Amino acid sequence: MRNYLTKRHDPFDFMDPFFDDFFAGERNYNQLMKTDIKDEGDHYQLKMDLPAIKKEDIKISLNEGYLKISATFHDENEKNEQHGK
Query: Per-residue pLDDT tens for 58-76?
Result: 999 999 988 888 888 777 6
- Amino acid identity at 81: E
Q: Is residue 20 part of a domain?
A: no
SS3 13: helix
Residue 68's domain comprises: 30-75
> Which residue would you say has higher pLDDT here, 61 or 33?
61
Task: Summarize the confidence of residues 49-58 as an average pLDDT.
Answer: 86
What is this structure's pTM? 0.46
Residue 22: band (very low, low, confident or very high) from pLDDT cuts 50, 70, 90: low
Specify the pLDDT at position 61.
Answer: 93
Specify the pLDDT at position 19.
Answer: 64
- Amino acid identity at 74: H
Q: Structurally, how many domains does the chain consist of?
A: 1
Q: For residue 29, what are the contacts with CB-CB under 8 A and spacing of at least 6?
A: 71, 73
Q: Is residue 5 part of a domain?
A: no
Return mean pLDDT, the chain.
Answer: 73
Q: Is residue 18 part of a domain?
A: no
